[in-house]
Amino acid sequence: MNKLILAGAALASLSIPALGADMRVKGPPPVPLFTWTSCFLGMHAGGGWAQKDVTDPVQLVQDAFEGGPVTTGVTTASISPSGGVVGGQFGCDYQFAPNWVIGVEGAASGADIKSNTLVVLPLGDPGDSALVTARTDFLASVTGRLGYAVDRWLFYVRGGAAWAGDKFTVTGAFLGTGFGFEGLDTRPGWTVGAGVEWAFSGSWSARLEYDYYGLGTRTILMTDTLNALSGFVDVKQNVQTVKVGVNFHVWGEP
C-alpha cells in the first residue's frame, strides 16, 4: 500500500510541471491581419486649377451687335482659373492575393475655380473691350481604383468617367452699349488620378489624392438677355485637383 501511495505522489509531481508548461505556451490569440476589404463613406477638401481656352469671344460680341459676320481672324482667350473644392465620396474595396486592392468609387465636389481675362473689341470705340470669365462650379466622377496595400497603407491609381459644371460670361461695352453674355455648360469627360491612404484608427482612414480631368472641347450657347442677343463660343478645358480626405469604413476589419 505504501508503495502505491508513493508512486501516485511521484506521478502527480511530474504532471503538475507539465501542465504548467502547457499553460505557459498558450498565449492570447493572434491579432487578425488588417484588410482593406470594406465599404466606405467620407469627405474631402482641397484646391484645383484649370486651363480654359475660349474661342471666339470677340466674334461673339461684334457679330451679334452688327447682325452678321463682320469679324475677321480668330481670338482665343486663355484663362487659368484656380480655387477651392470640397465634397464627398463613397465606394467599396476588396483586398486579394494578398496585397492587391480593387474597388469602385463615386465622388462629387462643389468648386469655386474661377478667373478672367480681358480682350479688345477692334471694331468698337477706342477702349471697348470684353471681360471673359470662366468658373467651374462642380466636379463629379465614377471611377475604378487599383491599389497595393502595405498593412494599413494603400497606394493606388484610379480612373473613369467625369463631369464638370461651368459658367462662362462675356461682359463689357461695345459702341456705347453695355452687354452681358452668359452660358452654362455641364459636360462629360474622363479622369485619372493617384493617391495614398492610411488607416490610422479603427475604421477611419485619411487620404491624399491628385486627379486630372480631361474635358475636351464643346460649343457653348451664350445669351445676352439685356440686348436680346446670342451667339456661340468654343471652350476647350482641363482641370486638376489635389485633395485631402477622411473615410469611415463601414465594413472594415481593422
HEC sequence for 33-54: CCECCEEEEEEEEEEEEEEEEE
Number of CB atoms found within 10 A of residue 1's CB: 5
Query: What is the pTM for the complete model shown?
Result: 0.87
Distance, CA of 186 to CA of 79 (rounded, Å)? 18
Distance CA 212, CA 241 (A): 7
pLDDT at 135: 98
pLDDT on residue 202: 84
Reply yes or no: is the peptide bond before residue 56 cis, omega within 30 of 0: yes
**pLDDT confidence of residue 32:** 67
The span from the CA of 215 to the CA of 52, in Å, is 10
- What is the block-wise mean pLDDT of the chain (254 residues), using blocks of 10 residues? 46 46 57 87 98 98 97 97 98 96 98 98 97 98 98 98 98 97 98 98 95 98 97 98 97 56
> Residue 42 has which C-alpha cell?
467620407
- CB contact at 8 A, 106 and 89: yes
Give the integer Cα–Cα distance in Å for 249 and 254: 9
Q: Strands 153-174 and 82-96: what pairing?
A: unpaired
Q: Residue 227 is placed in which grid cell? A: 440686348
List, in order of start, the domains of the chain with CATH numbers. Answer: 37-249 (2.40.160.20)
| Predicted local confidence at residue 251, as pLDDT | 73
